[in-house]
Amino acid sequence: MKKVLNTIIWTGLIAYMFIALSFTSDKRSELLCNKVRVIVADSARAQFFDRKDVQRILNAGGQKIHGIPVMEVNIRKVEALFNKNPYIKKIEVFTTLDGALNIRVQQRTPVVRVISSNGAGYYLDKDGYIFPASRKYSPYLLVANGEFHVGDQFKRSACLDSIADKKFYKPWFELLELAHFINEDDFWCSQIVQLYLNSKNDFEIIPRVGAHQIILGKAEGYETKFSNLKILYEEGLKQEGWNNYQKIDLRFKNQVICTKR
């Protein structure tokens, strides 16, 4: 008797679910898309992208949304339109029973602004993507300039890991590592405002405090070099003054060579 009762209950539940799903499907087929709901998940942190950009991209892609059945909205095609935008890291597009096309955007997080050798502006984000600077929004970031070259194949955005000629982009890989290190250290984040890559592919540091040139050299062993520089700051420059040296050279192993003015 108990088995029969359980069978009846489960049969009823399955039938109810089937009817409910059929009803929902019928309602969705009749439902017209009446609005676009935009969610920029990290709008408080970055302003590369907003609601006006959504409508502009939809219009440019010839996507008619309002007044068509939600079941006929091509979600994959809409996502593809937004994936072309260099400032978007992740896009989610879905419809809901209130007749809305929902577009959820996650923006890229740049860690350094790069002025390349040809004068063009780019950002390098924490995941290693190079993408063009924005006229709309300019976040306060570490700046890098000098001999940062961009190949002819670069058009919109590219991930360093996906670029075939990694030797050509080696300074960019090194810059990404240095930028992470500087941004994650409160002292260096406050003290360093710019990195410069000279013609010898040596990195130079532009400090916030002190009118001296700092030559970091190659990126290899940068943690030791920064540690040596910090010791100089704490034990040397505090005693002799921040502006007494013209040049501080960190290129040589376990040495800090200072040239006075």
**What is the pTM assigned to this prediction?**
0.81
Question: 251, 229 in Cβ contact below 8 A?
Answer: no
Q: Is 80 in the same domain as 121?
A: no
Query: Burial level of 32, CB count in 10 A (0-12/13-18/19+)?
Result: exposed
| Residue 115 in domain | yes
User: What pLDDT digit, counting tens, does each position of 117-133 carry?
Assistant: 988 899 999 999 999 99
Q: Is 84 in the same domain as 184?
A: no
Among residues 74, 92, 71, 95, the alpha carbon closest in space to that of 83 is found at: 92
Q: Is 102 in the same domain as 127?
A: no
Q: Which residues pair with 105 in a beta bridge?
A: 40, 91
Question: 174, 181 in Cβ contact below 8 A?
Answer: no
Q: Is 98 in the same domain as 187?
A: no
User: What pLDDT digit, counting tens, does each position of 98-107 carry?
Assistant: 999 999 999 9
Using only C-alpha atoms, what is the Rg of the chain? 27
Counted residue by residue, the chain has a size of 261
- Return all residues near 169 (Cβ < 8 A) that are at least 6 apart: 151, 160, 163
Question: 78, 101 in Cβ contact below 8 A?
Answer: yes
pLDDT at 238: 64
User: What pLDDT digit, counting tens, does each position of 195-248 carry?
Assistant: 999 999 999 999 998 778 899 999 999 999 999 999 888 887 666 666 777 889
Percent of residues, the chain, with pLDDT higher than 90: 46
3-state secondary structure of 233: helix
Q: What are phi and psi of 194, to 5 degrees?
A: -155, 145
| Residue 166 in domain | yes
Q: Is 94 in the same domain as 157?
A: no
- Res. 153 pLDDT band, cuts 50 70 90: low
- Res. 90 pLDDT band, cuts 50 70 90: very high
* Biggest CA-to-CA distance, the chain: 100
Mean pLDDT of the chain: 84
96: left (phi over 0), alpha (psi -120 to 50) or beta: beta
CATH number for the domain spanning 216: value is: 3.40.50.11690
Query: Burial level of 8, CB count in 10 A (0-12/13-18/19+)?
Result: exposed
List strands edge to edge, sheet with 88-95: 35-40, 100-107, 88-95
% helix, strand, coil for the chain, step of 5? 35, 25, 35
Q: Is 44 in the same domain as 172?
A: no
3-state secondary structure of 242: coil
List strands edge to edge, sheet with 213-217: 158-159, 129-132, 121-125, 110-115, 142-146, 192-197, 203-207, 213-217, 245-249, 257-260
CATH number for the domain spanning 74: value is: 3.10.20.310
Q: How many domains does the chain have?
A: 2
Range of the domain at 141: 110-260
Among 67, 91, 107, residue at a domain's last position:
107
| Residue 143 in domain | yes
Q: Is 171 in the same domain as 206?
A: yes
Strand pairing category for 192-197 and 142-146: parallel
